[in-house]
Structure 1
Amino acid sequence: MTGEGPPAGTSAVVWSGGKDSTLALHRALRQGHRLTHLLTVYDRVTGRVPYHGVGRELISAQAAALGLEPVLEASEEGAFEEALARGFDRLRDAGVEALVFGNIHLADVRAWYEERVRAAGFEHVEPLWGGDPARLVREFVSLGYRGVVVSVLLGRADPEWLGREFGGELLAEIAAREEIDPCGEHGEFHSFTRDGPIFTKAVPLRPRGEREQNGYRYLDLGIDDPSTRAGVGDRA
């Protein structure tokens, strides 16, 4: 299923916190899906989402701003699939019938998830599937979403992109790098969405430095207190 006809019951989005998850959620809502939950698997040791590197507290803040119930599952090293299955169990117990993903064109990734989603008894929904990555990232920006780059693959993406907000200038720089997928589908970079039309409020961010791990450079972000000072791109 690619999202043409929503199920009669409720749906959940499998969520990384970035632009692709956000745009998939946006489209699913427009297609009539009744979204109630978001599911995120994070590393138990670091408390962060793999590859994006954002802490679980940032995912919880997004869920609150989106009006969705967060289902956060901790994964031990090498046990992502088991954590995902536990999340599926919790969603099934909550009455969820369909799972929304933000896959675009990596067939092996989609097939891996689809096999497990269907085995767990859910409908598998891919609102972005087959879309042109350059058009999708422009759609994300034109709809009014605000996202920042939170990790880059060293040797592939520009470390100077860290912390920058998606917009015309950054999109042009990414487009100029022909070896890089405009949506970072091959892991070149990852993002975090902090505001947009389906958010009830912005997620206030405070940069806390940078770190390197496993070939990536990460922007370490925390929740900023908007009553004291401005964070990263706070909503006016």
Structure 2
Amino acid sequence: MTKIPLAISWSGGKDSSMMLHHLVNDSQYEIVELHTAISSETERVSMHGVSQDLIRAQADSIGLPIHFISIAPDSTNANYEKALNEYYSNLKAKGINHIGFGDIFLEDLKAYRDQMLSNNGLTGVYPLWKKKTSDLANYFFDQSFQTLICASKQSLFPESICGKVYSKEMLESFSPEVDPCGENGEFHSYAFDGPIFKKPISIDVNEIKTHTYEHKLASGEEVKTAFEFADLTLTKPVAV
């Protein structure tokens, strides 16, 4: 049977890792490459705060090529969509018509992705879609994946989880309003070990930084939201 070539939308977190693990073990697909959207201003993954070097280290350990989609700063989605459409066009030219995503239950995000894909004659593949997030979290632990919290919404966690390893104990400390997989944006993570990696990625947590975002609600009320970010770097080899 001829396998379907598939590109992977890769954020570097636990959901991307579980999604890739599912697809690697699905005999109908051949994983061709990973791609990650990076801010041209910071050279980091937006809302994750993870550097390009860390994403490249993951791709090297997985054993797949990585394509970085550089997104120019913009208050709208225009630059994001322009860059993504260019990448999708290149995929089509190479005969790649399917893209894997790690989305779980956000209907509006999936609809947005599917519209973008449809505009380019592509099809989305969502192996985690509508799975129970508590089951996915347990699957993550059972498969011996490891991930570190790289960003978290400050107000949701009485004790900071940023810079710490995601664990069953951490999960048990979450309030009911926090999704076990952080699907509503409660937290983001950086995966550094597990069955998709040929070797673990050694990282250092240097400091925890706080950034406050301002946005308007539909009512016109201005709201400020504080996020913590872990400044992560690859561990440097010890000189001998």
The 1:167/1:218 distance shift into structure 2, 3 A limit, reads same
Within a 5 Å distance, the mapping from 1:1-236 to structure 2 comes to: 8-32=3-27, 33-78=29-74, 79-158=79-158, 160-174=160-174, 177-213=175-211, 214=213, 215-227=226-238
- Determine what percentage of the aligned residue pairs are the same residue: 30
In structure 2, relative to structure 1, the CA distance for the partners of 1:219 and 1:67 (3 Å cut) is: same
TM-score, normalised to structure 1's length? 0.88
Structure 1 residues 124 and 227, CA gap change in structure 2 (3 angstroms): same
Does the aligned pair in 1 maintain the 2:154–2:160 contact within 8 Å?
Answer: no
What is the alpha-carbon distance in structure 2 between the residues aligned to residue 108 and residue 161 of structure 1?
28
CA distance in 2, matches of 1:183, 1:110: 17
Rg larger in structure: 2
CA distance in 2, matches of 1:147, 1:167: 9
- TM-score normalised per structure 2: 0.87
Once the 2 structures are TM-superposed, how far is the Cα of residue 90 of structure 1 from its aligned partner?
Answer: 3.2
Q: Which runs of 5+ in 1 are unaligned?
A: 1-5, 230-236
The code of the aligned residue for 2:72 comes to E
Q: Does the C-alpha gap of structure 1 residues 173 and 10 become closer, same or farther in structure 2, counting only changes over 3 Å?
A: same
Q: How many residues align?
A: 222
Q: CA deviation at 1:226?
A: 4.2
**Is 2:21–2:196's contact at 8 Å kept on the other side of the alignment?**
yes
**Distance in 1 between the 2:117 and 2:2 partners?**
15
Q: Name whichever of 162-171 and 46-55 sits farther off.
A: 162-171
